[in-house]
Amino acid sequence: MTVKVNLQTTCMDQGTQGSDEGSKVLDIELSLSKDCAPPSHLDEFPEGGLVAWSTAFGSFLILFCGWGYTTSFGVYEDFYTQHYLTNESSYAISSIGSFNAFLGTAVSLIAGLLYDRGYFYHLVITGSLLQSVSLFMLSFAKPDQYYQVFLTQGLGSGIALGLLYIPSLAVVSHYFKRKRTLVMTFVILGSSLGAIIHPIMLNNILNGRLGFANGVRASAGMVSALLLIACLCMRTRLDPPTIPVNYITAAKKCLRDVPFLFALAGAFLMQIGFYYPLFFLQLDSIQHGVSVKFSFYSLVILNVSSCTGRAASGYIAGFIGVPNMTIIAAISSGLIILGTIGLGSLSSVVILGVLYGASSGVYNAMLAPLMATLAPSPSELGGWMGIFFFVGGLGSLIGTPIAGALLTSDYIWWKPALFAGVTSLAGAVMYIFMGIKIRRNKF
């Protein structure tokens, strides 16, 4: 910044013996460094206001229609297995949901890069349109036409989820800093609420008078309307960084950040087992003789508890810290997944659903704040989140298909439960190492 100062001096003209006074104006340019410049109002986070909360609400709706729908795949898993894709194995059917979840995190690598370059609105609008089109196209899939279901629900909806996920979370950091963890927790509650509403709706319409085609169209119509509202609500506040994040540079930086490396390993291992209860709990309870009507609500029980866990996690993390909260949730989730080996009655479905819902809800709620904690600066948050969720997505890609293969057509339930539980606990160990390293770095 340059400031021009006019300095007027009065001097005696020696040639006129003091009779003439002349005025001489000296122009002095003072260059002030940026460090001396007054702070911009953009450096101050509003921590609230109409635009801030409407943006947070829009992000909430995005996750309601995105991850809320993906984590409801257990309904489709049961319906496809028993009615619609009866010629396919559990491995093939579960691959649809796992590929959807994988793309939801893998495409985040690209979405984070584009977000850092200022393409927020392009990502949100494109992702919303693709999610809407994919679900409507799913309604035209014919029975036992596996590739039609895979292309629409696995591929199309998965790419849409990936385009929407990072931008909807990262934009919250434009408005909140002190309240960021709490607001991100509220936003992520959208996926929990979606995972409650969507299973109730889908179980009733897919198995009711509407049937598959009209039922999926009704669901797609609701999702499309909510995504339109979300696009109208969300606004950015900060300009993109002058030098966008370079993923090669960011990856090299990650390799030198030991806590982040442990977090990556923890996310990969944890995601291998994470979706097992979400995809198989409803089918598991039906196969163990629990009434079909009650089994339809097993995922609802799990996700109601997940919603409660996510809501409480933001407050508790303020006291014990985000890394510690992540560790506790990861350990609890792994132990409860192992506990599904003992599922065999209605009461066990309720207990395991409530416990896993709470622990997995806390774990999911902590991932975005954990990245905000580990990332060096907000300008790099999109890149670091993209790398983190991509690696975690690799775990979800292989986890449920392996569980489906271990299950076999004979429904040997202890094998996939043991596999998912052990890998999740291995992920929890990695998070413990992350927490130890963070603590050492502080001292």
pLDDT band at 430 (very low <50, low <70, confident <90, very high): very high
| Cα→Cα distances 402→17, 374, 408, Å | 103, 31, 10
What is residue 190's predicted lDDT score, i.e. its pLDDT? Answer: 86
Q: Report all structural domains of the chain as residue ranges with CATH numbers, in order of start.
A: 47-237 (1.20.1250.20), 247-442 (1.20.1250.20)
Backbone angles phi, psi at 39, to 5 degrees: -65, 140
Whether 116 contacts 245, CB under 8 Å: yes
Whether 323 contacts 343, CB under 8 Å: no
DSSP bridge pairs for 25: 8
CA distance 106 to 199: 25
pLDDT of 43 over the 70 cut: no
Average predicted confidence (pLDDT) for the chain = 82
What is residue 128's predicted lDDT score, i.e. its pLDDT? Answer: 94
pLDDT band at 49 (very low <50, low <70, confident <90, very high): confident
What is residue 31's predicted lDDT score, i.e. its pLDDT? Answer: 39
CA distance 176 to 48: 7
> pLDDT per residue over 223-236, tens digit each?
999 999 999 988 88
Burial 242-254 (b: 16+ CB within 10 A, else e): eebbebeebeebb
> pLDDT per residue over 356-394, tens digit each?
989 988 898 888 788 878 877 666 676 777 788 888 888
Lowest mean pLDDT among 9-18, 71-80, 81-90, 316-325: 9-18
pLDDT of 109 over the 80 cut: no
pLDDT of 172 over the 70 cut: yes
> pLDDT per residue over 122-170, tens digit each?
999 999 999 999 999 999 999 889 999 999 999 999 999 989 988 888 8
pLDDT band at 326 (very low <50, low <70, confident <90, very high): very high
What is residue 417's predicted lDDT score, i.e. its pLDDT? Answer: 93
What is residue 396's predicted lDDT score, i.e. its pLDDT? Answer: 85
Question: CA 73, 154, 201: angle at the middle one, nearest 5?
Answer: 30
Span 297-310, average pLDDT: 85
What is residue 306's predicted lDDT score, i.e. its pLDDT? Answer: 84
Burial class, 377, CB count within 10 angstroms (exposed 0-12 / middle 13-18 / buried 19+): exposed
Q: Which 8-state DSSP code applies to residue 246?
A: P
Q: Which tokens is 149 given?
A: 């279901």
> pLDDT per residue over 243-279, tens digit each?
666 667 777 777 788 899 999 999 999 999 998 988 8
Burial class, 21, CB count within 10 angstroms (exposed 0-12 / middle 13-18 / buried 19+): exposed
| Cα→Cα distances 83→155, 201, 206, 362, Å | 22, 18, 10, 34
Residue 129: other Cβ atoms inside 10 A: 16
> pLDDT per residue over 67-80, tens digit each?
889 888 888 988 89
Greatest mean pLDDT range, 24-33, 281-290, 330-339: 330-339
What residues contact residue 152 under an 8 Å CB cut-off, 6+ apart? Answer: 134, 135, 137, 138, 141
Q: Which tokens is 304 given?
A: 């109601």
